Amino acid sequence: MTGGALEWPTRDLVSHRVATTPQRTALMDDETGRTWTFRELDRRVDRVAAALESRVGSDLRSTRIALLMDTRPAFAVCVFAAMRTGAAIVPLNVRETPAELRGTVDRTEPAALVCERETEPAALEIGREPPESIGSLPVLSVDEPETDAVDELAVEPSSDEAPAVDPVPLERSDELVVMFTSGTSGEPKGVPLTVENLVSSATASAFRLGVGPDDRWLCCLPMYHMGGLAPVVRSALYGTPVVIQRTFDRHETQRVLAEYDCTGVSLVPTMCKRLLEAGWEPEPDDALRFVLLGGAPATSELLERCRAADIPVRPTYGMTETASQIATATADEVAAHDGTVGQPLVCTDVTVVDEDGEPLPPGETGELVVSGPTVTPGYLSEAVTADRFCEYGLRTGDIGHRDSDGRLWVLNRRSDRIVTGGENVDPGEVLEALRSHPTVDDGAVVGLEDPEWGERVAALVVPDENDSGRGDRGDLESGIDLESLLAHCGNRLAGFKQPKTVGVAASLPRTASGTVDREAVRAQLLEDGVDVPNST
């Protein structure tokens, strides 16, 4: 699978699949109860591909199509339609504000923005005031548009509609997806993923988890994240159904897993915990083979509860930059080696290096560096690429160690990234929003341990000395108007990025070198911070 060995696929995955097993089930939608075979999916992919070429341009190769949609069958159709035309998709997070999304659009310069009814207002706001670098941006909807400013991208073909688009030949280096992942640099990082990255990831995952004709992968994670997109791509490659649940629900997800005989599902630890709290305990004859648990560390307590309920959890470690999994624990590893995420997947190499970038022996703790065919060829930013890659591969910024058998333990992140409910939050972005409030002079943003979300966003703010009309500096209510500050953040940040605990200080605690003492910030917030009412 490395070098020139990867010679397949030569075109989009659905056209390959329909040529071999057209009668197999491709998609199952719990909301509508509908199912589509690969033959039926192929016709819908062809319809959307033809519409994209008609409305955007006949030659879409090497262009990008932005998708502002939540989890649904139409998302999958658009993914493969873009692949058929040679375009890459840019999944946009529907939970972010138009202001946040505009920066992503500016950096990727898509040829069109595809939305749905719920996201049409946000898409129009971006389309009406697009970044200067892209000019006019066509907005298309997979639903019947609410306004004349949006064109309909009809997914359902007519009964007599014949195929109209010849699949564009693909090379392993062709870009298929550009996803954004938050870090500590103050700006989300654009991650291009290629044909080789996605197919190698799917293949390596099949080696680790196994795959058979009766497998069904439940997708209840957002498709605009790698955890939700990966099952869609993999199932088409395998020729197995993907079951789509549009919104996770602790009760309904249990029903869907059992009713559809799902054999696998990807969850973040918060989801798994909610299922357990709702009494989830699979029956002995259930089809479920594995529950991939990633996006955030799983606690020993959670893993023990899963074992007690006979839930086949497989702790996994992955990144957007590696098209999902890097390592995934087997059932034996989960039982015998507490806390491990298992051995790296086939063709994935993990090197542990010290602060000088030199490899460390087994048992020694250092930064994890990953290489192999699943690793992105580089970021959109050449400067970030130069910073994050070394002679051993991609520097993950995560700290861990390996044992003598190659099993991997991930201990913590070198970065200050906050992971809340499986969503990555860049503290610098939150801090920028806080500092733009007229009564805030400075601040620090950290993650606090949270039993529901893993971490919650917390902020310690320093009031502006020049702002008048306030009381004592140490009193949040008199020093800074909490309601005003939260409303200010609400207009600039997605809900999961907004502070859930806020404290005030005359100055920020700092180390001897002058940097912010983040542990002292956490301690002060735990002692004096005010939890935001009704935060979720």
The CATH number of the domain holding residue 465 is: 3.30.300.30
Mean pLDDT (the chain) is: 89
Q: How many angstroms separate the Cα of 436 from the Cα of each of 429, 440, 441, 496?
A: 11, 7, 9, 19
pLDDT for residue 475 is more than 50: no
pLDDT confidence of 352, banded at 50, 70, 90?
very high
pLDDT confidence of 468, banded at 50, 70, 90?
very low
Compute the average pLDDT of residues 508-528.
Answer: 78
| Residue 34 located in a structural domain | yes
At 426 the pLDDT is 77
At 412 the pLDDT is 66
- Listed in order, strand segments (DSSP E) in 372-468 are 389-390, 393-402, 408-413, 418-420, 423-425, 440-450, 454-463
Q: Domain range for residue 481?
A: 418-531
- Do residues 220 and 256 make contact, with C-beta atoms less than 8 angstroms apart? yes
Last residue of a domain, one of 239, 267, 287: 239
pLDDT for residue 2 is more than 90: no
pLDDT for residue 255 is more than 50: yes
Separation between Cα atoms, residue 314 and residue 332, nearest integer Å = 10
At 469 the pLDDT is 41
Tell me, what CATH number does 49's domain have? 3.40.50.980
At 467 the pLDDT is 54
At 6 the pLDDT is 53
What percent of the chain is modeled with pLDDT above 90?
69
| Residue 503 located in a structural domain | yes
| Residue 251 located in a structural domain | no
pLDDT for residue 54 is more than 60: yes
| Residue 280 located in a structural domain | no
| Most confident of the ranges 185-189, 379-383, 429-433 | 379-383
At 474 the pLDDT is 39
Of 468 and 363, the one with more pLDDT? 363
Q: Report the 10 Å Cβ neighbour count for 174.
A: 17
Compute the average pLDDT of residues 448-471.
Answer: 79
Last residue of a domain, one of 239, 267, 295: 239
Of 255 and 188, the one with more pLDDT? 255
At 247 the pLDDT is 95
Separation between Cα atoms, residue 470 and residue 479, nearest integer Å = 5
| Residue 475 located in a structural domain | yes
Beta pairing class for 264-267 and 242-244: unpaired
| Most confident of the ranges 209-213, 436-440, 471-475 | 209-213
| Residue 74 located in a structural domain | yes
At 128 the pLDDT is 76
What percent of the chain is modeled with pLDDT above 70?
90
pLDDT for residue 131 is more than 90: no
At 513 the pLDDT is 42
- Do residues 336 and 303 make contact, with C-beta atoms less than 8 angstroms apart? no
At 325 the pLDDT is 97
Separation between Cα atoms, residue 87 and residue 178, nearest integer Å = 11
Give the number of domains in the chain. Answer: 2
> How far is it between the farthest Cα atoms of the chain?
74
Last residue of a domain, one of 190, 210, 239: 239
Which helix (H) or strand (E) segment holds residue 252: the answer is helix 252-259
| Residue 324 located in a structural domain | no
Picking from 166, 228, 127, the residue whose alpha carbon sits closest to that of residue 15 is 166
- Of 81-85, 326-330, 461-465, least confident by mean pLDDT is 461-465
| Residue 288 located in a structural domain | no
Compute the average pLDDT of residues 324-336.
Answer: 95
State phi, psi for 250 to the nearest 5 degrees. -60, -30
- Do residues 429 and 93 make contact, with C-beta atoms less than 8 angstroms apart? no
At 130 the pLDDT is 59
Of 163 and 308, the one with more pLDDT? 308
pLDDT for residue 287 is more than 60: yes
pLDDT confidence of 186, banded at 50, 70, 90?
very low
pLDDT for residue 428 is more than 80: no
